[in-house]
Amino acid sequence: MPESRFHERPALLQARGLAFARNEEPIFGPLDFALHAGEVVLMEGDNGAGKTTLLRVLAGLIAPSQGEIFLNGEPLTLARLSPQLALLSHQGGLKHDLTALENLRFAAGLHGQRRGLSPVSALAAVGLDGFGEVPVRQLSAGQKKRVALARVLLAPVGLWLLDEPYANLDRSGIELVNRLLERHAHEGGAALITSHGAYAYTSGTPRRIALRPDPAGTESQGDTIVENTR
Amino acid sequence: MRPGSTRAACLALLRRDLLLVWRRRGDTLTPLLFALIVVALFPLAIGAQMETLRPIAVGVVFVATLLAGLLALDSLFRGDYEDGSLEQLVVSPHPLALLLACKIAVHWLTTALPLIALSPLLGELLFLDPALRGLLPLALALTTPLLSLIGAVCVALTVGMQRSGMLLALLVLPLYVPVLIFGAGACNAAQMGLPYLAPLLWLAAGLVLALVLAPLACAAALRISTS
């Protein structure tokens, strides 16, 4: 645990020797990394490098083939994780027949809402003021992504797992994501985000982990490639 | 009520699913029209005489209701699976089985309840014995929730597959057989003047069992489907 020397508390999320293989074919890993409160980690990798799979493993949706995940120093279970987790997946998890606000009201009912935020103000925070009554079906792909980000923002949780939060977003949207991530980290939250690297990453990210397809599947990836810019 | 509590989550889910049905209210007519057409085919095929239709009326209404329910079954988790809402339910801090029970309840309310309401008309099309006018909807009211619950488990198992419709039918129909036997059996017994309470009680017992176990099985199956 090289990272934990600098932190007194156990890492919010820690992976040790984490690997996943589907039908004997290695998808990623073995990986070692830690995510602490107040930290944003960018997971980079080409298409098919296993970013989404890794995120789903960390979200407790898939069991890893090897290795362990710890949440605040204890083995990860969905019951321990779910009250702390906001997950943004590829599909977005929005109902296209409902309006943006109806979607956020449902999310607030399901996950609760952050102190000082409401579905209306969360929508305003992602730059969709005035789009509340528009069915999600009629929004553009970038606007849908913003609604999904508003859902993440609204959840009263410390850990964000965001799969390709920059996809489909325009320049101001990318800045918005960076701003939201910075504020989340500043407030003591942590985020693990994935990107295939096509978007210039301007500010705010202290650490990067590169995921590369590793046919041998033996070399440990995470720690060797992590560059700590702090 | 605290936002984020399990009760608030269930209410939010019930509200959302009802709202979704309301936005696509035309779709709820499909199973009704299907059942109506299936029942209407019988007099056309075997002649519209009371003496041929009355003995088979109960069975035909039951089978038509069962098939119409099967038609609507695939949509139970499909939409949520495809748009990622299901993942959100899985990673929410509430018991998945309870949330799924809410979904199944809305599905039953919006697909099976209209069929029960339609059943007297379906019976009338087949010269149903007037003595069964009250018993048929009652037997259906016990049968259809059981069908929805059993069906939901099978849908949860197949939702990860593409074009699972036929497989779903093959999986579900054998499991529907005992339910059909008890439901239609109660009505047939009543028609012949025999005691009919026992099969109804069996159905009620099965329903209680399924109410407890089916959501748990659904949750386990959906966790496999989403992984």
What's the pLDDT tens digit per position in B111-150?
999 999 999 999 999 999 999 999 999 999 999 999 999 9
Mean pLDDT of B69-85: 91
Neighbours of B26 (CB within 10 A): 7
Residues of chain B positioned with their CB less than 8 A from the CB of A78: 90-91
B92: chain A residues, CB-CB within 8 Å = 82, 110-111
Residues of B in contact with A83 (CB under 8 A): 93
How much is the pLDDT for B160?
A: 85
Percentage of chain B modeled with pLDDT above 70: 98
User: Which pLDDT score, from 0 to 100, does residue A203 have?
Assistant: 54
Contacts B83 to A, Cβ<8 Å? 91-96
CA distance B28 to chain A (A): 15
Percent of chain A with pLDDT strictly greater than 70: 84
Task: Tell me whether B3 touches chain A (CB under 8 Å).
Answer: yes
The pLDDT value given to residue A8: 64
Instruction: Report pLDDT for A219.
Output: 40
Residue A228 reports pLDDT greater than 60 = no
Instruction: Report chain B's C-alpha Rg in angstroms.
Output: 18
- Residues facing A227 on adjacent strands: A208
Is the predicted pLDDT of residue A198 greater than 90, yes or no? Answer: no
Residues 32-71 of B with CB under 8 A from A: none
pTM of the complete model: 0.89
Amino acid at B84: G
Mean pLDDT of the B88-94 span:
92
Separation of alpha carbons B207 and B186, rounded Å: 15
Digit-coded pLDDT (tens) for A1-11: 444 445 567 88
- Radius of gyration of chain A from Cα atoms? 17
Does the CB of B26 have a partner CB in chain A at under 8 Å? no
Instruction: Please state, in angstroms and rounded to a whole number, the distance separating the CA atoms of residues B156 and B150.
Output: 10
Size (chain A), residues: 230
Question: How much is the pLDDT for A51?
Answer: 87
**Which of A:64-93 have CB within 8 Å of B?**
78-79, 81-83, 85, 87, 89-93
Instruction: Please report, as a single letter, which amino acid is at residue A230.
Output: R
Query: Model confidence over A63-108: pLDDT tens digits?
Result: 899 999 999 889 988 888 989 999 999 888 999 999 999 999 999 9
| A109 near B CB under 8 A | yes
Would the CB atoms of B83 and A61 count as touching at under 8 Å?
Answer: no
What's the rounded mean pLDDT across residues A191-202? Answer: 71
| Residue (of A48, A49, A18) closest to A33 by Cα position | A18
Judged by CB atoms closer than 8 Å, whether chains meet at B3 and A107 is answered as no
The C-alpha of B48 sits at a distance from chain A's nearest C-alpha, in angstroms, of 44
The verdict on B91 touching A (C-beta cutoff 8 Å) is: yes
* pLDDT interval class at A227 (50, 70, 90): very low
What residues pair up with A162 in beta bridges, in sequence order? A88, A193
- Which of A78, A98, A109 is facing B9, going by the closest CB pair? A109
For every residue of A16-34, DSSP letters joined together read EEEEEEETTEEEEEEEEEE
Answer for the pair B143, B62: CB distance below 8 angstroms, yes or no.
yes
Q: How far is CA B217 from CA B39, B155, B177, B213, B214, in A?
A: 33, 11, 20, 6, 5
Inter-residue contact A160 to A190 (CB < 8 Å): yes
- Whether the CB-CB separation of A160 and A191 falls below 8 Å is answered with yes
Tokens for B152? 């939901």
pLDDT cut 90: percent of chain A above it? 42
B205 burial type by CB count under 10 A (0-12 exposed, 13-18 middle, 19+ buried)? exposed
DSSP for A41-57, please give it.
EEEEE-TTSSHHHHHHH
Q: For residue A138, what pLDDT is reported? A: 95
Q: Do B12 and A108 touch (CB under 8 A)?
A: yes
Q: How far apart are CA B34 and CA B196, in angstroms?
A: 29
Neighbours of B138 (CB within 10 A): 15
Q: Would you tell me which residues 131-160 of chain A have a C-beta closer than 8 angstroms to some C-beta of chain B?
A: 156
Instruction: Say if CB A34 and CB A4 are below 8 A apart.
Output: yes
The pLDDT tens digits of the residues spanning A106-135 come to: 999 999 999 899 999 999 999 999 999 999
Q: Is A198 on the interface with B (CB under 8 A)?
A: no
One DSSP character per residue, chain A reads --GGGG-SSPPSEEEEEEEEEETTEEEEEEEEEEE-TT-EEEEEE-TTSSHHHHHHHHTTSS--SEEEEEETTEE--HHHHGGGEEEE-TTTT--TTSBHHHHHHHHHHHH---TT--HHHHHHHTT-TT-TTSBGGGS-HHHHHHHHHHHHHHS--SEEEESSTTTT--HHHHHHHHHHHHHHHHTT-EEEEEE-S-S---S---EEEEE---TT--S--HHHH-EE--
User: What average pLDDT does the segment B168-183 reach?
Assistant: 94
Chosen from A52, A110, A136 to mutate, greatest number of chain B CBs within 10 A: A110
- Considering chain B, what is the average pLDDT of its residues? 93
CB A83 within 8 A of CB B91: no
pLDDT at A225: 43
Q: Which of B13, B85, B227 sits opposite A61 (nearest CB)?
A: B227
Q: What is the dihedral of CA B93, B94, B99, B100, to 10 degrees?
A: 80
Local structure of B92: helix, strand or coil:
coil
Q: Which residues of B touch A87 (CB under 8 A)?
A: 87-88, 91
For residue B139, the model assigns a pLDDT of 95
Instruction: Describe the crossing of helices B197-225 and B96-107 by its angle, rounded to 10 degrees.
Output: 120
Q: Classify the phi-psi angles of A188: left when phi > 0, otherwise alpha if psi is within -120 to 50, otherwise beta.
A: left
Nearest CA in chain A to B84: A93
Q: Which residues of A touch B26 (CB under 8 A)?
A: none
The overall average pLDDT reported for chain A is: 83
- Is the pLDDT assigned to residue A42 strictly greater than 90? no
- The span from the first CA to the last CA of chain B, in angstroms, equals 33
* The pLDDT value given to residue B60: 95
Alpha-carbon span B80 to B89, nearest angstrom: 9
- Given pLDDT bands bounded at 50, 70 and 90, which one contains residue A204? low
Collect all residues with Cβ–Cβ distance below 8 Å to A140 and sequence separation of at least 6.
none
Give the nearest partner residue to A112 out of B4, B83, B89, using CB atoms: B4
Chains A, B: CB contacts within 8 A come to 90
Residue A44 contacts residue A225 (beta carbons within 8 Å): no
